[in-house]
């Protein structure tokens, strides 16, 4: 029997999906919910406790008391300001380890994972709990990208990779060779909305993994909400990196995409 | 006496400043204004004519009739959709020359400049009309960036240079090592506003020239409006590339920055 799973729950659809999977497979689990990040409705029925994101000491204590051995970080975490975080003594120790140079997302998350492992937890990626989350290669639904879209995907992958090397973000929107928007701290939803507000319509959302990012946390993720936002913004489709991004509930994603007339593809990214 | 100057006027403060300079120096000039791009108030008193951006043939004819020999592209042009552009025969010829591969900003603008020179015009940069527009190196006002801001500027220059190599945009906002936002098609003002809407405050707007861009057009530009927007968004300051960006009315920029408590610096970027 697999060890008890601790779900560190951020925003979005992922935590609820992991809870459903644990239930379906009979796996023991416990949810650590974070004030201002976790959606209360998504975890209300599950065994859980709430903490502030800055209360690292209390969080670790709760996880240990619950008998958790394996940990998964699931969902979006908005980067808090240091003042809003009000770090406890344990969190301050983490920041000391982090140092200034590593304050980007990649460094921050890698350090968090290393600290959790030092505390005796085994950290795994969401795709190791639900293998089906991992984006496969190929066209997912009924609609395939046309030649222009394929060129835009290629360009988007190049731009996103360059941004990823600098730890800027996962996502770009490209239309007819022109980069309409690039994601940084605002997140993918804001990026999509912004591009929808520009003149004209069409374009492709491209999401790829940052080369240096900790693979177990913060993989590029799309779900039904992403498809709906893309449709609303007038985009033609979505491309994600095959094998290195998560598609939450592919069946529903395909259904939503087919209905909206959008393509969704998994593309292999070399190097 | 210098030849008659044609001012192709986009949005922003630059066209009005060039008109004022021509008047102050007694230089003959003619303004070509573009529907939906040029601000009518900025050029109303100057000799001018209006055309659609897509009416290349008519625009060239007007410039020749006015006896213009030298041309300057001044101010922002929003990228139009092809349908909104309604290109005339002359504009279609330009697009044919352009081809698909060069449809990014750099390729587009370089081709426009080449076409204008083929028509017998001599294209110059705004800084050749008003040398004082070119950003000098150093701290402009009373406030200097602190150590954190200097690190953020350094990081911003690296990120902007990487983006520029991909012809994405000029500008980024960095706060304590984290890239808050990156400019693409939405423009610098929208970037600043967006970063102001994120949690926390502080950060630096960094603008540098794209390595492959046509130097005579589309240099990174800041003005009083940029300073005001940055102050409104809670940024700590602005850094521009010395010698490769334009500061429209430095005296007023410094005044606004000093009043708002922002720094403005010109930084040398090694190529």
Q: Does B109 share its domain with B178?
A: no
Percent of chain B with pLDDT over 70: 96
Say which CATH number the domain at A259 has.
3.40.140.80
How close, in Å, is residue A150 to chain B by CA atoms?
13
- Give the residue numbers spanning the domain of B57: 5-129
Query: For residues A183 and A191, is the Cβ–Cβ distance under 8 A?
Result: yes
Q: How far apart are CA B223 and CA B168, in angstroms?
A: 22
List chain B residues with CB under 8 Å of A164: none
pLDDT in tens, A41-69: 999 999 999 998 888 899 999 999 999 99
Say which CATH number the domain at B88 has.
3.40.50.20
Asked if the Cβ–Cβ distance from B194 to A190 is below 8 Å, we say yes
Q: Is the pLDDT of residue A101 over 70?
A: no
Residue that is last in its domain, among A113, A129, A145: A129
Q: How far apart are CA A225 and CA A233, in angstroms?
A: 12
Query: Residue A99 in 3-state DSSP?
Result: coil
Q: Does B218 share its domain with B187?
A: yes
Which of A236-247 are b and which e, b meaning 16 or more Cβ less than 10 Å from the residue's Cβ?
Answer: bbbbbbbebbbb
pLDDT of residue A77: 79
pLDDT in tens, B12-37: 889 999 999 999 999 999 999 999 88
By C-alpha distance, which of A217, A156, A152 is closest to A183?
A156
Q: Does B176 share its domain with B156?
A: yes
Q: Does B85 share its domain with B158?
A: no
CB atoms within 10 A of CB A109: 18
Q: Is the pLDDT of residue A238 over 50?
A: yes
Number of domains in chain B: 2
Q: Does A151 share its domain with A80?
A: no
Asked if the Cβ–Cβ distance from A81 to B180 is below 8 Å, we say no
List chain A residues with CB under 8 Å of B182: 163, 168-169, 182-184
pLDDT of residue A212: 79
pLDDT of residue B114: 85
Q: Is the pLDDT of residue B62 over 70?
A: yes
Query: For residues A175 and A202, is the Cβ–Cβ distance under 8 A?
Result: yes
pLDDT in tens, A169-200: 889 999 988 899 999 988 899 999 999 988 78
Residue that is last in its domain, among A97, A129, A161: A129
ipTM over 0.85: no
Stated pTM of the model? 0.86
List chain A residues with CB under 8 Å of B178: 79, 103-105, 185
Q: Does A116 share its domain with A210?
A: no
Q: Which residue has the tokens 């108030």?
A: B41
Q: Which residue has the tokens 């083929």?
A: B118
pLDDT of residue A103: 59
Asked if the Cβ–Cβ distance from B78 to A199 is below 8 Å, we say yes
Q: Which residue has the tokens 């406790």?
A: A49
Residue that is last in its domain, among B108, B129, B150: B129
By C-alpha distance, which of A146, A194, A195, A156 is closest to A177?
A156
Q: Does A138 share its domain with A70?
A: no
Q: Does A162 share its domain with A79?
A: no
Helices (H) and strands (E) in chain B, counts: 11, 13
Q: Does A161 share its domain with A208?
A: yes
C-alpha atoms less than 13 angstroms from C-alpha of A118 in its C-beta half-sphere: 10
pLDDT of residue B109: 80
Percent of chain A with pLDDT over 90: 62
User: What average pLDDT is seen over chain B?
Assistant: 90
Q: Does B138 share its domain with B263?
A: yes
Candidate from B78, B185, B199 with C-beta closest to A181: B185
pLDDT of residue B271: 57
Output B260 or B77, whichever has higher pLDDT: B260
Q: Does A125 share its domain with A138?
A: no
Show which of residues 200-259 on chain A sit within 8 Å of chain B, judged by CB atoms.
Answer: 200
Asked if the Cβ–Cβ distance from B199 to A80 is below 8 Å, we say yes
Q: Does B109 share its domain with B160?
A: no
List chain A residues with CB under 8 Å of B195: 185
pLDDT of residue B31: 97
């Amino acid at each position: 029997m697999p060890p008890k799973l601790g779900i560190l729950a951020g925003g979005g659809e992922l935590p609820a999906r992991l809870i459903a999977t644990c239930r379906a497979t009979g796996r023991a689990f416990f949810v650590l919910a974070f004030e201002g990040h976790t959606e209360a409705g998504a975890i209300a029925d599950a065994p859980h406790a709430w903490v502030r994101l800055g209360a690292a000491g209390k969080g670790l204590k709760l996880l240990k008391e619950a008998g958790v051995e394996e940990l998964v970080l699931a969902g979006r975490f908005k980067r808090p300001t240091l003042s809003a975080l009000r770090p406890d003594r344990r969190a301050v120790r983490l920041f000391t380890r982090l140092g200034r140079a590593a304050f980007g997302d990649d460094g921050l998350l890698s350090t968090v994972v290393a600290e959790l492992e030092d505390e005796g937890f085994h950290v795994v990626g969401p795709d190791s709990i639900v293998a089906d989350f991992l984006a496969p290669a190929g066209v997912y639904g009924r609609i395939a990208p046309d030649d222009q879209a394929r060129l835009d995907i290629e360009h988007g992958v190049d731009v996103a990779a360059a941004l990823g090397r600098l730890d800027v973000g996962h996502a770009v929107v490209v239309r007819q060779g022109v980069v309409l928007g690039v994601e940084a701290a605002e997140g993918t939803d804001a990026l999509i909305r912004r591009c929808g507000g520009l003149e004209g319509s069409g374009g492709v959302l491209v999401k790829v993994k940052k080369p240096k990012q900790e693979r177990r946390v913060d993989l590029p993720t799309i779900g039904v909400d992403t498809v709906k936002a893309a449709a609303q913004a007038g985009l033609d489709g979505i491309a994600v990196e095959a094998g290195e991004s998560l598609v939450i509930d592919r069946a529903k994603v395909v259904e939503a995409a087919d209905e909206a007339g959008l393509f969704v593809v998994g593309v292999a990214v070399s190097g």
